Amino acid sequence: MELMQPLNEQQVIANLRQRDDASDRYYAAWWLGKMRSQHPEAVPLLLDTLSALSDEPVDEEDRGVAINAIRALGLLLNPAAHDPLMHMLGSKDYSVREEAARSLGAMKAKAAIPQLCQLLSGGPAAAGKEQVGASTLKEPCEALLEALGNIGVNNPDVVAVITPFSDHPRPLVRAAACRALLQLMKEQRWANELEQLLQHPEPLVRRGVLLDLGASGWTAALPAIENASVEASLKLVALRGLAEQSDDIKVLDVMDRLL
Amino acid sequence: MTASDLQKAVLALDRATMTSEIVQATQTLCGLRNLEAAPTLIKVLGFNNPAVGAVATQGLIALGRDVVPILLVSLDVGNYGARAWVIRAIATLRDPRGLDLLEHALNADIAPSVRRSATRGLAEMELEGPSFFKDFSRCSEALFKAAADDEWIVRYAAAFGLEQRFCQNSTDTGLRTQAIAHLEQLSSNSEAVKVVKQRAKLALQRLQAE
C-alpha cells in the first residue's frame, strides 16, 4: 500500500478479505463502519471475521479484527447482523459481550431483549459483582443497561431487571441504569437522579453522566447540561443527542451559546 | 489598588502548587482588573489545567478590548491549550484586530474546538471603519470554508455564523446569495449530521423571514 494515499472502498473490501496482513484487516473493519459503507460485501465480510472467536485458542489479532467488526456492524444497522451478534452475547470473552450489546442496542434489536436481561439477572450482587484482580464487573453492565434503554421496549420485566442497578456502588453503572429507565419510563425522577450524579466530584463521572443525559433525549435536562462543570466541547456532543431526538429549538439556542 | 497588590498576587501564584491554590491565586489576579496582570494570566493559560484556564480566560475577557494587542503578541503558538483559550477570548471580545488570527486558526488549527471558537469569532466580530467591506468579505469567505469542514461542530458553527453575519439585509447581495447556497447545502441530505441540518434550516428560516 502506498503511503498517504487515501483508501477507496474497493481496496478496503479487498483488505478485509485477505488473510496475510492482520493490521490491514483491522483497519478495514473499522473503516467500513466509520464510513457507513453500503458495499454489498461489507456486512458478509464483517460477519465472516466473527468465526475466529470460536477457535481454540483464539488468535489475538483475529480477535481484534472481530471486535472492530462487531462495532462496525452496530454502525451499519443491517438486520442480517442481528442473529450473529446475539450469538456473540453468549461469548466467554467479556469485551465481545460488551461490544455485541452496544451494537444490538444501536440497532434497536428487540429480539435481543431476553438475552440482555438474562445476562443482567441476579442484579448488582451477581452480574454487577466486582471481580478480584480486574477492573471489570462480572458482566459488562453499562453496555447491557444502555442497550436495553436504546432498544426502548418498556415492559415490567425489563424495568424490573434494570431498576436494582440504580443502586449499584459504581456511579457510572447507576447512571447507565437511570438513563435506561428515563428512556423507557419517561419519568422525571430518573432525570433527577442523573442530575444529582452530574455533581459528582470525579470529572470522568460527570462527563459520562452528561453524555447519558444527552442520549436520553430528555429536554427538561437542558439547564443541567448547560450549567454542568464539564468542558463545552462535551456539552455540545450531549446537546447534539438531545437536539436530534427532540427537534426543540431551545436546544439549538443553548448550543449556539456554547460555541 | 497599588502595584504591590499585583506583585503579591503574582507571588502567590508562583508559590501555588495544588489546582485549588492556583485557581485561588488566578482569581485574585483576575479580581485586580489590571492590564498589567494580563501577561501573567496568559502564562497561566499554558499550564494545561482546564479549571485554571477557564478562570484566567474569564479574567482576560473582563479586561476588555485593551487586552487584545497583548493577547496577539503573547500567543504561544506551540502550546495547544493556551492557543485554544486565547482564540476563545479574542472571539468573545469581537475585536476586529483578531481577524488575522481567527482566520489562520480556522484554516490551519488541527483541534476542532479551536476551529469552532474561531468560526464563532468570525461570525460575531464587530466590523467598522474604512475596511468594513473588505473585512466583511474575509469573514464571509472564512465562514464558507467552515461550512465544508470535516468536523460536524465546525459546520454547525458555520450555520450559526452565516445567520449572524447575514441577518442584516443591507449587506453585499453577491455574498448573501452564496451564504444562502451554503446553508441550503448544509440543510440538504448531502449533510450527514442531523443537528447540522437542523441548525442550517433554522438559519435559513430566520434569514428568509426578513
| pLDDT confidence band for A1 (50 / 70 / 90) | very low
CB-closest option in B120, B192, B193 to A259:
B120
**A238 and A162, same domain (yes or no):** no
Confidence check: pLDDT of B149 > 80: yes
d(CA B11, CA B31): 15
Boundary-marking domain end, from A145, A168, A186: A186
Q: What integer is the mean pLDDT of B79-107?
A: 92
Q: Which CATH class is domain B3-157?
A: mainly alpha
| Contact indicator for B191, B155 with CB cutoff of 8 Å | yes
Q: Which of B116, B156, B202 is facing A249, going by the closest CB pair?
A: B202
Same domain, A174 and A218: no
- Inspect the interface and report whether the beta carbons of A244 and B195 lie closer than 8 Å: yes
The answer, for B157 touching chain A at a CB cutoff of 8 Å, is yes
| CB-based contact, B119 to chain A, within 8 Å | yes
Q: Which of A116-130, A138-152, B77-91, B128-142 shows the lowest mean pLDDT across its residues?
A: B77-91
pLDDT(B1) > 60: no
Domain count, chain A: 3
- Residue B142: C-alpha distances to residues A42, A228, B116, B154, B198 (Å): 38, 31, 12, 12, 21
The whole-angstrom distance between A8's CA and the closest CA on chain B is: 18
Cell 454489498, residue located: A40
CA closest to B115 among chain A residues: A259
Listed by start position, the domains of chain B span: 3-157
The residue range of the domain holding A75 is 1-107
Percent of chain A, pLDDT > 70? 98
Are residues A87 and A101 in contact, defined by beta-carbon separation less than 8 angstroms? no
Average pLDDT over chain A, rounded to an integer? 93
**B113 interfaces chain A, CB cutoff of 8 Å:** yes
Please answer yes or no on whether B119 and A236 come within 8 Å at the CB atom: no
Query: Cβ of B160 and A249 within 8 Å?
Result: no
- Residues A101, A115 within the same domain: no
CB contact under 8 A, B120 and A244: no
- Give yes or no: residues A88 and A171 share one domain: no
Residue A252: closest C-alpha in chain B: B199
- Are A57 and A145 in a shared domain? no
The tens digit of pLDDT for each residue in A154-177 reads 999 999 999 999 999 999 999 999
Closest residue of chain A to B157, computed from CA coordinates: A259
Whether the pLDDT of residue A98 is over 70: the answer is: yes
CA-CA distance, A68 to B92, in Å (whole number)?
41
Give the mean pLDDT of A194-221.
93
C-alpha grid cell, residue A65: 479484527
The answer on A219 and A155 residing in a single domain is: no
Top pLDDT among A37 and B77 is at: A37
Phi-psi region of B64 (alpha: psi -120 to 50; beta: other; left: phi over 0): left
Asked if B26 and B1 touch (Cβ cutoff 8 Å), the reply is no
Per mean pLDDT, which range of A235-249, B3-17, B114-128 is the poorest?
Answer: B3-17
The nearest alpha carbon in chain A to B122 belongs to A259
A13 and A96 both lie in a single domain = yes
Q: Is the domain of A157 the same as that of A250?
A: no
Direct distance between the N- and C-terminal alpha carbons of chain A, in angstroms, rounded to an integer: 40
